[in-house]
Amino acid sequence: MRLKDKVAVVTGAASGIGKEIALLYAREGAKVVIADLNLAAAEATAAEIGGRGGRAIGVGMDVTSEDQVAAGMAHAVATFGGIDVLVSNAGIQTVASLDEFDFAKWRQLLSIHLDGAFLTTRAALREMYRGGRGGSIIYMGSVHSKEASALKAPYVTAKHGLIGLAKVVAKEGAKHGVRANVICPGFVRTPLVDKQIPEQARALGISEAEVVRTIMLKETVDGEFTTADDVAQAALFFAGFGSNALTGQSLVVSHGWFMQ
Ligand code: NAD
């Protein structure tokens, strides 16, 4: 029970990595707010946690909307009495070469990853400062916070940006006991990745199996995908770490794809 009675807001938690984090946090005793664009799926995940004896609510939230973030965070506080952990995880991927990149799609991706991180961070910080019991903010970065890949310009740009944001939160939050860190996963088989495989195959004129072997897992030490549980364990470690000794850091969980 490493998160007993902590309140954790996880964005994008109706699917993939965020869902796995929500399930693990609930098993570790946290009260979990599943904040997602997809309210029905968020409520289904909350019900799944409730069915196992955990505590969770689903909240409809577009992280790019100032009003929806404010309302969702206020609902979280009203229901569970504060916020101890924020996992800013909601994200999308759009694949195209830079010379072909649609401006609206560029802006949409940056907005979800960066405006979403900012808006949820600001709301969480206000509550953490007010509550006076510190907190932990975790950003879902990527190996693409450290490394580039062709066809992913806005994603690589946004994921690098999250490291900068985490460092500022670490500096500003320290006197309030608020820590901020970034998890940088390698490829995890979630709907986000399953959608990219045929897109990349088409863009590059190669087979889907070749996309997996020669692009996604090429640089790993063992040709293995990272799992959502691997990432959730890292998110648990950051959430449960009890001092400012570990702040402003980024942790790569990628089967050695990127080594620093
Ligand atoms: P996913 O598609 O399975 O889940 C993403 C969730 O975010 C969905 O439930 C979706 O409804 C939600 N979402 C999308 N836009 C939103 C918005 N505007 N407001 C609120 N919710 C929104 O994806 P995933 O693979 O679990 O990705 C989660 C995070 O992990 C993303 O930030 C992604 O960049 C990052 N990541 C994924 C991988 C991977 O290989 N899957 C690797 C590194 C980092």
Residues 17-47: tens digit of each pLDDT: 999 999 999 999 999 999 999 999 999 999 9
178 within some domain: yes
259 within some domain: no
28 within some domain: yes
169 within some domain: yes
Mutate to test the pocket of ligand 1, among 39, 190, 212 (most ligand atoms within 8 A of CB): 190
Domain ranges, residue 241: 7-186+227-253
235 within some domain: yes
78 within some domain: yes
Closest-CA residue to 240 (of 21, 15, 19, 14): 21
Percent pLDDT > 90 in the chain is: 97
- Residue minimizing CA distance to atom 44 of ligand 1: 142
Single out the catalytic residue among 25, 129, 139, 155. 155
Residue 17's domain is classified under what CATH number? 3.40.50.720
122 within some domain: yes
Domain count, the chain: 1
- Residue minimizing CA distance to atom 36 of ligand 1: 142
The pLDDT assigned to 260 comes to 85
147 within some domain: yes
Q: What is the mean pLDDT of residues 60-67?
A: 98
Helical residues (DSSP H) of the chain, grouped into ranges? 16-27, 39-51, 66-80, 103-110, 116-131, 153-173, 191-204, 208-210, 228-240
- Residue minimizing CA distance to atom 41 of ligand 1: 188
